[in-house]
Chain A
Amino acid sequence: MHDLAVQGGQLLLVLLMAPLLTGFVRKVKARLLQRQGASIIQPYRDLARLLQKDVVLADNASWLFRLAPYLIFAATWVAASLVPTFATSLLFNWTADLIAIAALLGSVRFFLALAGLDVGTSFGGIGSSREMMIASLAEPAILMIVFTLALVAKSTQLSTISEVMLSAHVGLRISLGLVLVGLIIVAIAENARIPVDNPATHLELTMVHEAMILEYSGRHLAVIELAASLKLLLYVSLIACIFVPWGLVGAEAGLGSAAYVVKLAVGGAMLALFETLTAKMRVFRVPVFLGAALMLGLLGTLLLFVSRGL
């Protein structure tokens, strides 16, 4: 019963907190740029506004175009609700391990890319082809990261990984540092953040994610924006669950939630700081950036073989 309550609570929590995290990141970025910035709850207002508007569909948009936002949202929400946020005792945490969560995000990307190609404009094509190029390097990087973590924790279940990371057995390992950097690089690429993609732009030269959803409007766009915020929340929660797992295991729900909110805030602030300090890369430097994540994952695995315990 307790597990069911935890699972249900997490389902609602991630849905409600996702736009807040996006708003928080934008606010911190604005403040760092010496602007006032929009209020933290502006994303909620944006979603409400979009939901009220008409959908304007292109003449030749198909049923796939209309269905894709809901599929994307559903897959992201399911994945986000399986990453432990304030407690590891989720009722359904055995339905998907880390590999399955990464693959669910792969499905999200698949349908998003197809939606970009559906209307048959060149912008959609640009977004989809660049997104698949980024994905072709981000996925092996994530799987190498999973591999290294599974070598340390002897499992791919997130709850087990958190518990092992909390125990003293882990010690200080450089492989985990490499894996953390690799995971941050992949998270930046997957969430379409600077330096890989600019979430606030509509210029052809700089678009990847925005190009794929260019033709969406009204409630469809609202659902997709919510899914994107959920994905950002998912990645921050994932990093927190694996590398900053204090407050996750054994503590009661109140302390766990408070710890979780603090982790989100710190993660969001650091993301905003990083985005402000870096410039966006040229598209064909992104494979080098992601290749670095893959190399870090591989190097982390190799270094584990010389470390203790193996």
Chain B
Amino acid sequence: MDGLDFDIAHLFAGSLVLVSFMMLYQDRLYALLNVFALHSIVLAFSVGWQAHIQDAPQLYITTAIAFVFKGIVIPVALHRIIQRLGIHREIETVIGIGPTMVLGIGFVALSLAVMLRVTAEADRLAREDVALALSVVLLGLLMMVTRRNAVSQVVGFMSTENGLILAATGAKGMPFVVEMSVAFSVLVAFVVIGIFLFRIRERFDTVDAQALDRFRRTQE
């Protein structure tokens, strides 16, 4: 394995962990969405690089999905919807930012300690990818657990998913990776739509499109 190839893969995986930490300390919703977009773009680069060094052209589809769908479409859509529905834009945390970050570092250390010991005989690149992917998953879960705002919990869930995709692509020769990424994206889309339907119903007491239409016309 060429050193430079490994280094670049490590660079992307490490950047993904770093961006997960950046998501943990955001306290404004728009900034969080921007950082999530960055998270998905870094994931796209990482998967693209894996596609290049593993010689697996189907992974380029996953790259495209990550870049277009999760890096551009979802953040923009969420941005628009938050603006329209006037969702509360401050993110309250359950514990302070300091203890959250300390917990985050603890999770990363724990996942490294576990994964590196368990995969002692595996290929170096796969080990590194799986260990860092578990860190991203745990950090995403930490974000879901320590936030009170529904949108930030969804963003945490999506970043957990990004981590799972990283793990899947890192394990060389895993089948159905592309299908999995498509399935995950559909799942995410449904979750996001579900949350917003819930909010819409909360706000307007109905999700009936005609009633909403009437409401919109009376507003104009």
Contact = CB atoms under 8 A, between A and B. Distances in A.
| Physical interaction between A and B | yes
Given A302-B112, A306-B127, A174 B105 contact: no
Given A305-B116, A307-B10, A178 B124 contact: no
A303 B132 CA distance: 8
A308 B132 contact: no
Interface string A252-269: 000000000000000000
Interface stretch (A22-30, A206-214, A291-299): A291-299
A172 interface: yes
Contact of A174 (B15, B108, B112): B15
A291 B112 CA distance: 22
B98 interface: yes
A74 interface: no
Contacts of B14: 174-175, 178, 303
Given A175-B14, A299-B21, A308 B112 contact: no
A173 B3 CA distance: 11
Given A298-B105, A305-B112, A173 B7 contact: yes
Contacts of A307: 7, 10, 128
B18 interface: yes
B11 A174 contact: yes
Nearest to A171: B7
A261 B4 CA distance: 32
Given A172-B11, A291-B101, A295-B21, A308 B3 contact: yes
A169 to B, nearest CB: 9
Contacts of A61: none
B131 interface: yes
Nearest to A174: B14
A175 B11 CA distance: 9
B64 to A, nearest CB: 25
A58 B146 CA distance: 52
Nearest to A307: B10
B198 interface: no
A232 B7 CA distance: 33
Contacts of B127: 306
Interface string B1-13: 0011011101100
Interface string A278-310: 000000000110011001001100110111100
Most buried by A among B11, B127, B132: B11
B4 A172 contact: yes
Contact of B108 (A171, A291, A299): A299
B17 interface: yes
A178 B18 contact: yes
A293 to B, nearest CB: 12
B18 to A, nearest CB: 7
A73 to B, nearest CB: 36
A174 B98 CA distance: 24
A302 B108 contact: yes
Report which residue of A171, A288, A295, A298 has the largest number of chain B beta carbons within 10 angstroms of its beta carbon: A295
Contact of B3 (A171, A298, A306): A171
A288 B21 contact: no
Interface in B54-82: none
Contacts of A171: 3-4, 7
Given A291-B101, A308-B10, 15 more contacts: A171-B3, A174-B10, A174-B11, A174-B15, A288-B98, A295-B101, A295-B105, A299-B108, A302-B105, A303-B132, A305-B116, A306-B116, A307-B128, A308-B3, A308-B124
Interface of B: 3-4, 6-8, 10-11, 14-15, 17-18, 21, 25, 97-98, 101, 104-105, 108-109, 112, 116, 124, 127-128, 131-132
27 contacts: A171-B3, A171-B4, A171-B7, A172-B7, A172-B11, A173-B11, A174-B14, A174-B18, A178-B14, A287-B98, A288-B25, A291-B98, A291-B101, A295-B21, A295-B101, A298-B105, A299-B108, A302-B109, A303-B10, A303-B14, A303-B17, A306-B10, A306-B127, A306-B131, A306-B132, A307-B7, A308-B3
Interface of A: 171-175, 178, 287-288, 291-292, 295, 298-299, 302-303, 305-308
